Amino acid sequence: MAPQGSDLAASGQPPVLEADGTSASGVLLVSGSWTIETLKDADSQVDQTLKETPSVKQLDLSGLTSLDTSGAWVIIRLLRGLGLELSSATPINPDHVSLFEAVAETNLTAPTTQKNLNFFIALFQKTGEDVVEIYKDIKILAYLAGEIVSCLLKGLIHPRSLRITSIVHHMEHTGLKAVPIVAMMSFLVGAIVAQQGAFQLRKFGAEPFVIDLVGILVLREVGILLTAILVAGRSGSAFTAEIGSMKMREEIDAMRVMGLNIIEVLIAPRVIALIIALPLLGLVANLAGLVGGGVLLWAYSDISLSTYITWLRDAVAINTFLVGVIKAPFMALIIALISCSEGLQVGGSAESLGRRTTAAVVKSIFLMVLVDGLFAIFFAAIGF
């Protein structure tokens, strides 16, 4: 029987393991309660006894009050350590017989433990695995990009395969619903840039040039880049989590066996929706950033709104705006492709979903900044 007793705090008598009278008799007395409650004590006594390696012929279990599987295992371990059979433990309470017999069948083979690798070997192994991982990433990204292009071409012939409903749905979630936060953030960033610029340029008496600063910085770089980073955190992680949990619950497998094309149904609508939505969000961000700069300068630097607008008209041209907006679809492509590919690589565990979502956001932000740098060099080289 398992330990009983209605007293909730009961832990019974402590387990005792002692030699019977003189140690020469070769009988060990086992008494008290051998359950998981008192197991630590019992286990250390067994260790102690085994260390002394006494010549024991018999275990006397007559003083054993309660027993569970954990306690039975510790007694079996004692017997094995002493090189005794179960039959040398007497008398076994009839209630405990089957428990002892069942536990005696376990742990017969030593469990296989994974060897800890040498630090350097582990380092090389991890590096190698990471390189292979990067190769796999590139392969799956190239595959997805190719599939999406073929999907778009197919869409020219059969417009129905483009899943307009799905695209509009994703545009609403990634685009329309992000408008307030994008506008708010850009407004603040525009204001902060203007404030810092005004503060520094005031020393040179060149305060009006802060308008050039705000206009060019917001339109060329900050507006789009910050929007893209926000969207990567907001929608990229959502894409990975959605597709990843569908993968975990075998929904993706179900689609596959129904003959649905995963790329066409899940990936392409997200990519297309984001490619349309991100430039539009960028436009909102640009406007909000410029308004933020204007409002701050009006409040902080005595530059009136009409002066601001007039000066801004001279400071920026259409190409300033285009340089920013041209980058948006590329950023959208990076976010959507990376987060979808990470989602498809989610494994069976909740931990892997978390890891992939983190990886999706980190990788897409890193690549976006990299691509932004490449664009800056390119535009500088062609003098745009």
Partner 1 sequence: MTATPQTPQNTASSETGARAILSVKGLTVGFSSRLVLENLDLDVQRGEILGIVGASGTGKSVLLRSVLGLVQRQSGQFIMFGHNTEKLSRQERLAIERRLGVLFQHGALFSSLSVLQNIQVPMREYYTLPQRLMDELAISKLELVGLSPDAAHKFPSELSGGMIKRAALARALALDPQLLFLDEPTSGLDPISAEEFDDLISTLRDTLGLTVFMVTHDLDSLSQACDRIAVLAERRVLAIGNMNDLQKNPHPWIKSYFTGKRAIRQWDKN
For partner 1, the binding residues (CB under 8 A) are 1-4, 6, 8-9, 35-37, 39-40, 43, 68-70, 73-74, 77, 95, 98-99, 102-103, 105-107, 109, 111-112, 114, 347-352
CB of 357 to partner 1, least distance (A): 14
What's the Cα-to-Cα distance from 226 to each of 200, 284, 313, 372, rounded to whole Å?
A: 23, 12, 23, 11
CB of 23 to partner 1, least distance (A): 26
Cα-Cα-Cα-Cα dihedral of 211, 215, 221, 225, to 10°? Answer: 100
Burial class (CB in 10 A: 0-12, 13-18, 19+), 221: middle
Residue 61 is encoded by which pair of tokens?
């279990």
Q: Which is nearer to partner 1, 46 or 191 (CB)?
A: 46
φ and ψ of 343, to 5 deg = -60, -40
Tell me how far apart the alpha carbons of residues 331 and 225 are, in angstroms, rounded to a whole number: 8
Within 10 angstroms of residue 94's Cβ, the number of other Cβ atoms is 8
CB of 72 to partner 1, least distance (A): 9
Q: Which is nearer to partner 1, 36 or 201 (CB)?
A: 36
Please, are residues 98 and 66 in contact by the beta-carbon 8 Å criterion? no
Q: Which is nearer to partner 1, 112 or 165 (CB)?
A: 112
φ and ψ of 17, to 5 deg = -130, 115
CB of 346 to partner 1, least distance (A): 11
Q: Which is nearer to partner 1, 37 or 207 (CB)?
A: 37
Please, are residues 353 and 241 in contact by the beta-carbon 8 Å criterion? yes
Residues listed for the chain: 384
DSSP β-ladder status, 16-19 and 27-34: antiparallel
Q: Which is nearer to partner 1, 46 or 151 (CB)?
A: 46
CB of 107 to partner 1, least distance (A): 5
φ and ψ of 206, to 5 deg = -110, 35
CB of 47 to partner 1, least distance (A): 9
CB of 248 to partner 1, least distance (A): 9
Q: Which is nearer to partner 1, 41 or 147 (CB)?
A: 41
Q: DSSP state, 300?
A: H
Q: Which is nearer to partner 1, 4 or 22 (CB)?
A: 4
Please, are residues 362 and 258 in contact by the beta-carbon 8 Å criterion? no
Q: Which is nearer to partner 1, 10 or 370 (CB)?
A: 10
* Closest by CA position to 182, among listed 39, 295, 320, 282: 282
Q: Which is nearer to partner 1, 31 or 69 (CB)?
A: 69
CB of 344 to partner 1, least distance (A): 16
φ and ψ of 64, to 5 deg = -75, 120
Tell me how far apart the alpha carbons of residues 232 and 332 are, in angstroms, rounded to a whole number: 9
Tell me how far apart the alpha carbons of residues 4 and 207 are, in angstroms, rounded to a whole number: 84
CB of 109 to partner 1, least distance (A): 7
